[in-house]
A and B are shown apart, each in its own frame.
Chain A
Amino acid sequence: MKPLVLLGRSPELELTGLGTQRQCWRLQSPHSIPASDRDAALIAHHHDWELARANGYQLAIGRDARPDGISLSYIRLPGGFAALGDGDVVGVYPQSGRVRVLYRRSSRHNFFLVTERCNNYCLMCSQPPRKVDDGWLIEEIAEALALVDPATPALTFTGGEPLTEWRRFVGLLELTRDLLPDTAVHVLTNGRAFAAAEVAKAWAAVGHPKLSAGIPIYAAVDHMHDYVVQAKGAFDQTVLGVLRLKDHGQRVEIRVVLHALTAARLPETCSWIARNLPFVDHVALMGMEHTGFAIANDDLLWIDPLDYQQQLKAGIEVLATAGINVSVYNLPLCVLDPSVRPFAVQSISDWKNAYVPECDGCSARGDCAGFFSTGRPKFSRGIAAI
């Protein structure tokens, strides 16, 4: 069980006349004429090379070596790289020879990493933050967005903390609104930035009808949340942030990652949400991805999902009867209490979603979230075909 490879070093790359700077390319069938100077021909057959040249492409991208006698600039994709198709967008870094898939048109799970910087340092972070100067990422995303299919139903901005440079990020949201007006945009943020009135106001002023913020709250007690996110004062700022966003009529999802430190108190946390934040648009109770810091903190965090089913059931009951929209993410149906299963969602992004041999004979596989293939997956003792 392995995730799709979306980043790699090209074994052969020749960009004569195309510069040495980072660049974004959209893949197109060489049978068509390039729609912009950012379109590259996606080579599938040996005669595509001639077609690409004849149709005026400046760049060809494919898995095979460039045949002799063809002078077109080209990038050979790394071995084992994810399958690509028409309309997909890649970032190319000529100096290192790396290629990164930025957008896959056929996927329901497109996400853009806005920054690796974060002011939280969550014990289970799947994308451990780094103090790096990665401000260029927002520029790359802006370039990529111009190449994204406007029919894309949804995309996610993640991090790090996307609001680390909040003014630039709000600018990116405005660009997204203008380029992709029909695309739902979900932002995974720790919400702390919204405790400042000007940030919440700027976010609301984007005026995007399908913009939502996914904000984690791990407990309704200050020190418990702050410990999980390793930042004192975070609980207070996050709750204030949620209140400010809702005061502006913005869409907010509360996300609770389930592990040994959060699951025991889940019924109380859910009761607190039902009483204090009944106006949030969605609550996601999420199985933990065993990767990143979650591996380092395995002793603190690991709990077999089978062992928190009573708490999960109680939490969902409180939220659902309060009329709050609640879902369970990232957990296979077989480990869930039957009363919880109707709330389960196939939430794991396609590029890192996998199933285990027990799934082969399972009647529920078609509806099941399955497993993360990232990191070092840990499995519940409850896994069995349904």
Chain B
Amino acid sequence: MAGFASPDAFCPETSALQLLPIRFERLDADRFLVGNMVGDLAEMTAAELDRLCTLDIAPGDGLYERAFEKLFIGAVDERAQQQLLALRLRSRLSFLRAATPLHLFVVTLRCEHTCPYCQVSRQSKDRVRYDMDQATASKAIDIALCAPAPLIKIEFQGGEPLLNFDLIRWIVVTAKQRAVRRGKQLQFVIATNLALLTDEVLDFCAEHDVLFSTSLDGPRDLHNRNRPRRGQNSYELAVAGIARIKERLGADRVGALMTTTEASLGRVEEIVDEYLRQGLDGIFLRPLSPYGFAMTTKQFHKYCGQDWLRFWKQGLRYILDINKSGRRFPEFYSTLMLRRMLSDEPIGYVDLRSPAGIGLGALVYNYDGTVYASDEARMLAEMGDRSFALGNVDEHSYRDLVLSDTLVSAVADSLTQTAPQCSSCVFEPHCGADPVYHHATQNDVLGIKPLSEFCLRQKGVLTHLFELLEHSPEDAAILRSWAS
């Protein structure tokens, strides 16, 4: 038997070591978060980070091993480390291969609610002026079916889309017929407050496999305060609607979204309890966006990013404890971020990707036939800013719209991969470009990130999730299960 060599014989030469692309962020006085270009994160002390950057490390010292496993270092003659980074980056960006899976049809801007935070600037009358007509819808369907994505999701938006249910019905039936020829799969969602839900609507949605997305802001008093309508019964109608859908179509056919207002801030536990009571399968703790009446009524400015972060953290703590008692109930914002942090599968969420999801992730067909780059883009347009209007269904094809100078410039000018403050940010692989938000808040599609509440929120959420994953094993097990 030949002899065995000692561990020293297998250590790479120190001179052959190289630092692979890394980024870092200070967590506190002596703790740093270090990440690679595909978002693997590790915690290090200042001294360790210094040693890593100067390659003052050696096999067996512990730091070498941690750095190697996270793809922070490699030897110059090794190829696997860079191959792993390359193929994982390719996976993370593979959403680009299935362009524009989401198509929003604003079938009417009318609404019977009068929410002060309305982000789309609803209208209350004039059916002719604010409803989409069939000719417009027909052209929008053709554009949607030209998108490269194999699965096309059509979401009906408003106003309150059920006010123009006849058109929804026509679009579903027509799109299905036309999709067959093009070999596309379709999915339909109605974003509705459920106040106008009828048996006729339910029957149609059962027959055609249409999903519902609704709004539920929390307990009765909070919901009805946030979402006024004549009769002060928005909550009662929403809750009854959720129950009817679950009974008629199944529990997984309805999802709810909440919007955080100033009045929500101290009440996150009650809001979560309301979702549990309604048998919903999780909750998306969502901040208010700076559009529509949320701006004109000054709702948006009533709380700041830090307030929302506190609200979210407190909610997440409460939700994690619920999960510990055995009930699976994810917080969906965390889930999106965790999937980014723990896997390389591209997520379908168009608001957090770079290249930005505008146009490439979603297109919006407004009631009047104008095509916008995102839901937020048309919200902005209702406020008089048409910066992200890409064209209209009468004159433009899918290709015209996604290759329009407006879209190409907005996407190209907002890439996080090259943006100041983003390209060196440890969270960049898990974040995204939001040119519409930064245009709306800073009049700059790229955005000045130290002044951006979007940036503050993302950094706050990702840092908090990292700390839980790293230092709170019980919470980490739950968080990992949400991501898978």
- Given known contacts A243-B84, A317-B477, A323-B484, A236 and B65 CB-to-CB distance under 8 angstroms: no
Does B480 sit at the interface, judged by CB under 8 A?
yes
Once the chains are docked, how many angstroms separate the CA of A121 from the CA of B84? Answer: 26
Known A121-B4, A223-B11, A296-B1: A236·B80 in contact at CB below 8 Å: yes
Partner of A322, one of B1, B77, B83, B342: B342
* B65 and A318 contacting across the interface, CB-CB below 8 Å: no
**Do A239 and B84 have beta carbons less than 8 Å apart?**
yes
Cβ of B87 within 8 Å of any chain A Cβ, yes or no, is: yes
| Residue of A whose beta carbon sits closest to that of B83 | A243
Question: Is A321 touching B481 in the complex (CB atoms < 8 A)?
Answer: yes
List of B residues within 8 angstroms of A276 by Cβ = 71, 84, 88
Residues of A close to B343: CB separation below 8 A: 275, 278, 322
Query: Per-residue 0/1 for A205-239: is the Cβ within 8 Å of any B Cβ (1 yes, 0 no)?
Result: 00000000000000011111011001011011001
In contact, A240 and B79 (Cβ under 8 angstroms): yes
Tell me the number of A-to-B contacts counted with CB atoms below 8 Å.
80
Interface residue SS majority, chain A: helix
Does residue A128 face the partner (Cβ distance < 8 Å to B)?
yes
- Least CB separation from B86: chain A residue: A243
Contact B69 A268 (CB under 8 A): yes
Q: Are B65 and A243 in contact (CB under 8 A)?
A: no
The smallest C-beta distance from A156 to any residue of chain B, in angstroms, reads 25
Q: Does A90 contact B (CB under 8 A)?
A: no
Give Cα A271–Cα B469 distance, bound, in whole angstroms. 12
A interface footprint on B52-81 (CB within 8 Å = 1, 0 otherwise) = 000000010000111011010001011110
**A81 located at the interface, meaning its Cβ lies under 8 Å from any Cβ of chain B in the complex:** no
* B121 smallest CB distance to A (angstroms): 43
Q: How far is the CB of B460 from chain A (nearest CB, A)?
A: 24
In whole angstroms, what is the CA distance A361 to B77 when docked? 56
Number of residues in A with C-beta < 8 Å to the partner?
34
Give the residue among A121, A123, A222, A321 with the most B Cβ atoms within 10 A: A222
B9–A240 contact, CB under 8 A? no
One of A222, A271, A272, A322 near B78 (C-beta < 8 A) = A222
Q: Which B residue's beta carbon lies closest to that of A240?
A: B80
Contact (Cβ within 8 A) A230 B84: no
Minimum CB–CB distance for A190 against chain B, Å: 14
Judge if A106 is at the interface, Cβ distance under 8 Å.
Answer: no
* A265 vs B4: C-alpha distance when bound (angstroms): 22
Pairwise interchain contact A243-B80, C-beta atoms closer than 8 A: yes
Chain B hits for A278, CB < 8 A: 343-344
Q: Is the CB of B1 within 8 A of A128?
A: yes
A323 to B344, CA, bound (A): 13
- Given A221-B69, A322-B342, A240 contacting B5 (CB threshold 8 A): no
Cα A123 to Cα B78 with chains together (Å):
23
A20 within 8 A of B: no
- Chain B residue at minimum C-beta to C-beta distance from A261: B7
Task: Please provide the chain A residues from 321 to 368 with a CB less than 8 Å away from any CB of chain B in the complex.
Answer: 321-323
Residues from chain B with Cβ under 8 Å of A221 in the complex? 59, 64-65, 68-69
Closest to A320 in B: B484
The answer to whether the Cβ of A297 comes within 8 Å of any Cβ in the partner chain is yes
CB atoms of B79 and A297 under 8 A apart = no
Q: Which residue of B lies closest to A247 (CB)?
A: B87
Which residues on the B side are within 8 Å of A224 (C-beta)?
65
**Among A232, A239, A268, A296, which residue has its beta carbon within 8 angstroms of that of B9?**
A232
Contact (Cβ within 8 A) A321 B480: yes
Q: Determine whether the beta carbon of B4 is less than 8 Å from that of A220.
A: no
Complex Cα spacing A150 to B344, Å: 41
For the complex, is B128 an interface residue (Cβ under 8 Å from A)? no
> Residues of A contacting B480 with CB < 8 Å?
317-318, 321-322
Residues 1-60 of B at the A interface (beta carbon under 8 Å): 1-2, 4-5, 7, 9-12, 40, 59
- Report chain B residues within 8 Å CB of A235: 80
Residue of A nearest to B59 (CB): A223
Closest Cβ–Cβ distance, residue B482 to chain A (whole Å)? 10
Interface pair B69/A123, CB less than 8 Å apart: no
Question: A243 and B78 in contact (CB under 8 A), knowing A223-B59, A227-B10?
Answer: no
Provide the residues of chain B in CB contact with A223, threshold 8 Å: 7, 10-12, 59
**Contact between chains at B80 and A239 (CB < 8 Å):** yes
With the chains together, A285 CA to B40 CA distance in Å?
24
Which residue of chain A has the shortest Cβ distance to B71 in the bound complex?
A276
Whether A321 contacts B477 in the complex (CB less than 8 A), given A222-B12, A224-B65, A227-B10, comes out as yes
Determine which residue in A121, A233, A236, A317 has the highest number of CB atoms from chain B within 10 A of its CB, and name it: A236
In the bound complex, CA of A357 to CA of B379 (Å): 76
Decide if B68 touches A222 in the complex (CB within 8 Å): yes
B residues less than 8 Å from A128 (CB atoms): 1
Q: Mark B89-125, 1 if CB is under 8 A from A, else 0.
A: 0000000000000000000000000000000000000
Residue of B nearest to A224 (CB): B65
Please measure, in the bound complex, the distance between the C-alpha atom of A296 and the C-alpha atom of B1, giving whole angstroms.
10
The list of the 7 closest CB pairs from A to B, nearest first, reads A239-B80, A226-B10, A321-B480, A227-B10, A220-B69, A223-B59, A236-B78
Chain A residues near B (Cβ < 8 Å) = 121, 123, 128, 220-224, 226-227, 230, 232-233, 235-236, 239-240, 243, 265, 268, 271-272, 274-276, 278, 293, 296-297, 317-318, 321-323
Name 6 A/B residue pairs within 8 A (Cβ), A-sorted: A222-B68, A223-B10, A275-B342, A296-B1, A318-B480, A322-B343
Chain B interface residues toward A at CB < 8 A: 1-2, 4-5, 7, 9-12, 40, 59, 64-66, 68-69, 71, 75, 77-80, 83-84, 87-88, 342-344, 477, 480-481, 483-484
For the A-B complex with A222-B78, A236-B79 known, give 15 more contacts whose Cβ atoms are closer than 8 Å.
Answer: A121-B4, A221-B65, A222-B12, A222-B75, A223-B10, A227-B10, A236-B78, A239-B83, A239-B84, A240-B80, A243-B84, A243-B87, A275-B343, A276-B71, A317-B477
